Structures are given as C-alpha cells and as structure tokens.
Amino acid sequence: MAAAKSTENPSKSHCNTRQAGTRGEDCALRFLKKKGYRIIERNYRCVFGEIDIIANHQGAIVFIEVKSRTSDRFGYPEEAVGKVKQKKISRIAVNYLGERKLDDSNARFDVVAIHFSPGKERVELIKDAFDFVL
C-alpha cells in the first residue's frame, strides 16, 4: 500500500513550493542587506503565526513578507498578500513589538517579491506595502 507521493516526480513547472520559499528567503535576505536593512529576526514565530523576516531600516522596525513565484499562474507576487494575510502579519507584528517592548517605535510592512524564471531571478521591494489591519 504505497501512498502516492506527490513530491516524488514533480513536473518542472511545479517545482517544490517549499524549496522555492526557502530559496526566495535567502535571496531576499541578500537583497535586503545590500539595501541597508539590518536583519533582526528570521522566521519569528508566536501564537498568531510566523513572519519571514524582521529588520531594522532607517530607525524603523520592518516586518517583511517574502513572496516567491515560479510561474505567474497564481498572479504576480506583489498581489499575493491579501487582506487575511495582512491581518495575520499585523497581529504578529503587534505581538512582537509588545514582547520586545518596542511599542513606541516606528514600524512598517514591506513585501519582497521574487520572480523566478529559468536562469535568473527578479527581486522587487515594495516598501510600506500595507497598513496595520486589525
């Protein structure tokens, strides 16, 4: 009774999403460091969920969601952070700021969108992508 393993033979266009995610985050980290972001946390977890990257940029605490895409089938990466996800990230941010006693600091939400196409990657930074949604 062999359970069908969907990961066994992925077609090329369906490249493992988890793999693309990690690769995307590494790529985003390099990009952000180059742009002058000081990385504080990677994969910060709390009861409200997980956020990819937390960084310090020009005196503000920045919560960064990384969006990786291997195809445009599900839309462009910068469209990928919907209202529900915005609320989720906002709650994680509020929790983090409270936990670290950083309530008074400036905070914003950035999205790093990475588009993978054969042989190259396109990185895009959307500063202040959305507001606190709570």
Partner 1 sequence: MRHFEERARLRGFKCIAGCDEAGRGPLAGPVVAAAVIFSDDYVNAAIQDSKKLTPLKRERLFTVIEKTALSIGIGIVEPAVIDRINILRASLLAMEKAVLTLSSPPDYILIDGINTIDVPVAQESIIRGDSLSISIAAASIIAKVSRDHIMDDYHARYPLYNFIKNKGYGTREHREAIKSHGRCKIHRKSFKVTL
For partner 1, the binding residues (CB under 8 A) are 47-48, 87, 91, 94-95, 97-98, 103-104, 132, 134
Specify the residue, 31 or 132, whose C-beta has the smaller distance to partner 1. Answer: 132
Specify the residue, 40 or 46, whose C-beta has the smaller distance to partner 1. Answer: 46
Q: Minimum distance between the CB of residue 18 and partner 1, rounded to whole angstroms?
A: 23
Cα–Cα distance, 107 to 60 (Å, whole number) = 5
Specify the residue, 31 or 48, whose C-beta has the smaller distance to partner 1. Answer: 48
Q: Minimum distance between the CB of residue 84 and partner 1, rounded to whole angstroms?
A: 9
Q: Minimum distance between the CB of residue 103 and partner 1, rounded to whole angstroms?
A: 3
DSSP string computed for the chain: -PPPPTTSS--GGG--HHHHHHHHHHHHHHHHHHTT-EEEEEEEEETTEEEEEEEEETTEEEEEEEEEESSSTT--GGG---HHHHHHHHHHHHHHHHHTT-TTS-EEEEEEEEEEETTEEEEEEEEEEE----
Q: Minimum distance between the CB of residue 47 and partner 1, rounded to whole angstroms?
A: 4
Specify the residue, 107 or 113, whose C-beta has the smaller distance to partner 1. Answer: 107
Specify the residue, 2 or 47, whose C-beta has the smaller distance to partner 1. Answer: 47
Q: Minimum distance between the CB of residue 124 and partner 1, rounded to whole angstroms?
A: 28
Cross-strand partners of 116: 121
Phi, psi values for residue 121, rounded to 5°: -135, 145
